[in-house]
Structure 1
Amino acid sequence: MEKFRITMPSTQTFIRSLDAVPAAIMDADGTIVECNRAFSHLFGGRCGVGGSIFMLVPEESCLEAICERCENSMDEDGTIEIKLRAGQGKQVATRCWFGRAESGARHLYALLLSGLAPGELSLLQQFSGTFVRDVNLGVLVVDQEFRLVDISDMACHILGIDRQSSLGFPMEEVFRSVPKEHRLVQRTLLDGVLVRSHAVSWTNDRQRYELLMDSNLIRDPLGQVVGAYVIFKDVTNLRSLEQQVQRSDRLAMIGQIAAGTAHEIRNPLTSIKGFLQVLNRTFHQSGMEREEGYTDLMLAEIDRINELVNEFLLLSKPKNVTFDKIDISSVLRDILPIINNQAVLHNVTIQYQSVYQIPKIIADRELLKQVFINLCKNGIEAMTQGGTLTIIEKIDARARKVHVEVQDSGAGIPAYLIDKIFDPFFTTKDSGTGLGLSVCQRIIHDIGGSIRVSSKGFGTTFTVIVPFSPS
């Protein structure tokens, strides 16, 4: 009888070592405690971790009976023939190896299938296994006890779940690190609380995803609920594109208003400023300090209005733009003295990592300077207690693009604000206009590039991406 017994360090290690052969480990009651992907896919998830092996071998009375039969009637290759339930009332004969197993103090049973061809299973079962394995969707299947039965590779990637260590566990355990109200799958799903085309955001340790989710119940032929499934699609790029289009539409509208009204605003402001300067000089000569202070304040506010009008004008398409092949490294070196002066005032250190012979891009040199000055200035001002501002050049040869990252070590941008920072007039500064980043994005978009932002609770990185110049 010992030749039918195997010893394993752990059920997971044993199962993973046989990933190409359908294999399962059962306890004495026939409950599957571990199975590999080949086994799960072979039966389309119909019999997995937490299920009973007797769903597949209805003619057997107990696992010991199978072991006894192995001892008495096995072939030379060590296998026996058993009949498996393949669905739709059919049974198919297959070869298998069955024996006792030990893992520490646990007494288990191991089943390895060797003679069952995929064509002997129903088309629906084959499709189910292939769908979960290969589909470019997030798929989760739970049983009536809210345990994870199967999960697709894409769902594992997006949700940050290890498949082998999660199958068969309650969903509360799978999502134990996520607050209950933010878990993607809720137990109310089994009560019939379903969703259709439900938009949801999910953030793992690496990045944020925008998902479109559907769910439904799984019922047996008698109409009883035996489980449920959740399917979701990653629509992050579509949502990002939609937001860019909406933001561009708003910028275009503001630009049209600015182009039509800026000069009408500037003309009276010029006259008011001129007369105020005369009054200011007169008050100064007459020793009227209080009145001189009033005019100083009014002149400062007029200058602020003029700066706002200038930013408005940049939102409309600049009329005197000169596109040329430029070296982005030389642009960054030109603005470093300006940035260094600002950094010294805020106790910030500047680090610049350049790339030798970086490919040239097509852009307006002065507008590009404005973009990087703005991004660096924002980064410096975000570090209220001092810190380091790092400017890094990179080359994406495959996509033929140049990347420039501006990283600060400040407090970061809260997740609920990060989608709004490029919106016109949105600002977290007491004296800001909320147009700086909108203008930067407009400038970069006009040369075929993009600006991305990422923040993980501390520090923020703005990445400017611009295509190479054709050689």
Structure 2
Amino acid sequence: FQTVYDRMLADQRDTLALEGPMEVEGRFLTIGLHGSRMKDEANKDLGIVLVFEDLTELIKAQKVAAWQEVARRVAHEIKNPLTPIQLSAQRLRKKYYEKSPDFDAIFDETTNVIVNEVTSLKHMVDEFSKFARLPTPQMAHQSLHDVINEVTTLYRGAHKDIELVVSLDEDLPSLNFDREQLKRVMVNLLDNAIQAMQQKGRVWLSTKYDTKRRRAVVSVADEGVGIAPEDQEKLFVPYFTRKKTGTGLGLAIVRRIITDHDGQIQAGQNQPKGALFTFELPV
């Protein structure tokens, strides 16, 4: 209660929402606290309304559902490379017992398949480990524009058929964030945009300072194929991907980082075509 009240007074915010653990009669609950500033017709403060909400069961259900989905997708991703590995081993065994004259060629072909699939499986497991062990953000007060300029400089030099249209709000103040993690967010969103356009087209990157809500708003838009309606709710779920070579963890990691920074991210359609990703961070 005191934290919300003090932050709303210090930052002159109209609204603020926090959630965290609280012990109530020996039980540990997850409580959501929403603060709203009330003003009269003359815009003078009347006070602050605080609403408490018990989120314990909701969050527990969400976590169970999320991990059930993760388990299902992990099982699916592991099963995919196991099939060609099994078929290759069976073929190799069959050719060996048949004393086949082309055994040497079959041996080279099948072991190559096995090595490639095991490499793919190891990459998938490594990516999941990174997602599960994502470190606690090392926060520092710094310029978000410096990170954006650093990342866009790299992409301008590496993608000659990509036009980056960058628009940065000069009024955006410094933020408190983990530099390496926010850089990872920008790289992931730009990679997705470029891949969606088959390495050719325009990408729009912009920042805006929402002074009333004291939020930094960052948008990345492309002119690719866009987001299918049936995929909208699955984009940030671990292991969901439409890419032939993707792990499906990129956007899940992005959302995890933004959430760890007390921010939000959403995806939508760019107009007239393409995808639009927007995330917000507190200032």
Fold shared per TM-score above 0.5: yes
1:400 matched to 2:175? The reply is: no
Structure-2 change in CA distance of 1:295 and 1:349 (3 Å): farther
Report the Cα distance in structure 1 between the residues aligned to 2:125 and 2:243, rounded to whole angstroms: 18
Partner SS, residue 226 of structure 2? coil
1:390 match: secondary structure: strand
Partner of 1:353: 167
- Residue 436 of structure 1 is matched in structure 2 by 250
* Closer/same/farther in 2, CA of residues 395 and 439 from structure 1, 3 Å limit: same
**Which has the larger helix fraction?**
2
Indicate if the aligned counterparts of 1:412 and 1:455 stay in contact, CA closer than 8 A. Answer: yes
Q: Cα gap change, 1:390/1:290 in structure 2, threshold over 3 Å: closer, same or farther?
A: farther
* Structure 1 residues 332 and 298: alpha-carbon distance in aligned structure 2, compared to 1, 3 A threshold: farther
2:131 pairs with 1:315: yes
1:387 alignment partner, one of 196, 201, 206: 201
Counterpart check, 1:462 vs 2:274: no
Counterpart-to-counterpart distance in 1, 2:154 and 2:119: 21
User: d(CA) in 2 for partners of 1:465 and 1:394?
Assistant: 10
- Tell which has more relative contact order, 1 or 2 (C-alpha 8 A, sep 6+): 2
With structure 1 as the length reference, what TM-score do the two structures score? 0.36
Deviation per residue, 1:151-200 (Å, 9 max, x gap) = xxxxxxxxxxxxxxxxxxxxxxxxxxxxxxxxxxxxxxxxxxxxxxxxxx
Aligned to 1:250: 66
Question: Once the 2 structures are TM-superposed, how far is the Cα of residue 449 of structure 1 from its aligned partner?
Answer: 0.3
Q: 2:143 aligns with which of 320, 327, 336?
A: 327
> Following TM superposition, by how much is the alpha carbon of 1:328 offset from its aligned partner in structure 2, in angstroms?
1.1
Q: Cα RMSD (Å) of the superposition?
A: 3.3
Contact 1:251 1:315 in 2 (8 A): no
Of 236, 246, 266, 1:452 maps to 266
Which residue of structure 2 aligns with residue 14 of structure 1? none
Amino acid across the alignment from 2:274: G
- How far residue 463 of structure 1 moved from its aligned partner, in angstroms, is 0.4
Unpaired stretches in structure 1, ≥5 consecutive residues: 1-241, 259-287
2:10 corresponds to which residue? none
> 1:353–1:247: structure 2 CA closer, same or farther, 3 Å change rule?
farther
Deviation readout 1:391-437 (Å, 9 max, x if unpaired): 10111111111011001011211222212211222111111121111
Deviations 1:53-76 (A, max 9, x none): xxxxxxxxxxxxxxxxxxxxxxxx
Question: Partner of 2:236 in structure 1?
Answer: 422
Q: Secondary structure at the match of 1:389?
A: strand
Indicate the percent of aligned positions where both proteins have the same amino acid. Answer: 27
TM-score (norm 2): 0.58
> Are 1:340 and 2:173 matched, yes or no?
no
- Which ranges in structure 2 are unaligned for 5 or more consecutive residues? 1-57, 75-103
Cα-to-partner distance string for 1:188-232 (whole Å, 9 max, x where unaligned): xxxxxxxxxxxxxxxxxxxxxxxxxxxxxxxxxxxxxxxxxxxxx
Q: Is the 8 A contact 2:137 2:260 kept in 1?
A: no
Q: CA deviation at 1:355?
A: 2.5
Kindly tell me: are residues 450 and 252 of structure 1, through their superposed partners in 2, closer, same or farther at Cα, counting changes over 3 Å? farther
TM-superposed CA distance for 1:308, in Å, is 2.0
User: Does the 8 Å CA contact 2:220/2:277 hold for their aligned counterparts?
Assistant: yes
CA 1:423–1:357: 2 relative to 1, 3 Å: same
Separation in 2, partners of 1:422, 1:441: 7
> How far is 1:360 from its partner?
2.1
The secondary structure found in structure 2 opposite 1:375 is helix
1:310–1:331: structure 2 CA closer, same or farther, 3 Å change rule? farther
Shift of 1:297: 5.4
Structure 2 counterparts to residues 209-224 of structure 1, below 5 A? none
Give the Cα separation in 2 of the matches to 1:289 and 1:363.
Answer: 55
AA matched with 2:179: R
CA drift of 1:358 comes to: 2.6
Q: 1:249 to 1:341 in 2, by over 3 A?
A: farther
Equivalences, count:
193
Q: Kindly provide the amino acid, as one letter, of the partner of residue 453 in structure 1.
A: A
Look up the match of 2:17: none
Residues 139 and 178, structure 2, Cα contact 8 Å, conserved in 1: yes
